[in-house]
Amino acid sequence: MRLRRLCQKKKSGRKSVDDGIIEDYLEGGEKREILEMSLLRSLAKHGTDRTMYKKVRGDFVTRVTLVKEKMMSREQEVMGHWMTEEKLRKEGNSSKTVTSIINYCKKFPNTLVRLENGLMCVI
């Protein structure tokens, strides 16, 4: 199975994969490399036998989707406010919530805590 054939639109108009994957293939570069690696991993898992074509294709689409989601989550910008303990209390958070946020921030100092009201805090 070749990536080119997998990402090709057939004469009948049928496609083996969705439009996003076809666009990534046509764009080339790093995106095509990700597709190639996903296909190789799928082939390694299921084998190259023609009878395994549907399983390989399904696994390939799943892998590509997961990789895209991971890349998108890394690129998303987090919006919020920096808050002190005093400001947390003024916002109306319970003392139990404030204490748990403080404990979490002390345990994981490089992370942010998202509150229900969309605010971020680092103590």
101 and 54, same structural domain? no
Cα separation values, 25 from 14, 28, 72, 77, Å: 17, 5, 18, 26
109 and 71, same structural domain? no
* pLDDT (0 to 100) of residue 75: 62
pLDDT digits (tens, 9 = 90+) for 35-77: 999 998 988 888 888 888 888 888 898 989 888 888 777 666 5
68 and 94, same structural domain? no
Domain count, the chain: 2
89 and 71, same structural domain? no
Q: Which of 123, 115, 105 is nearest to 79 (CA)?
A: 115
Residue 53 to residue 114: CA distance in whole angstroms: 43
53 and 31, same structural domain? yes
User: Residue 62: which residues within 8 A CB-CB, separation 6 or more?
Assistant: none
Give the global pTM.
0.55
- Residue 106 belongs to domain spanning: 85-121
Q: For residue 123, name the pLDDT band (cuts at 50, 70, 90).
A: very low
43 and 12, same structural domain? yes
71 and 17, same structural domain? yes
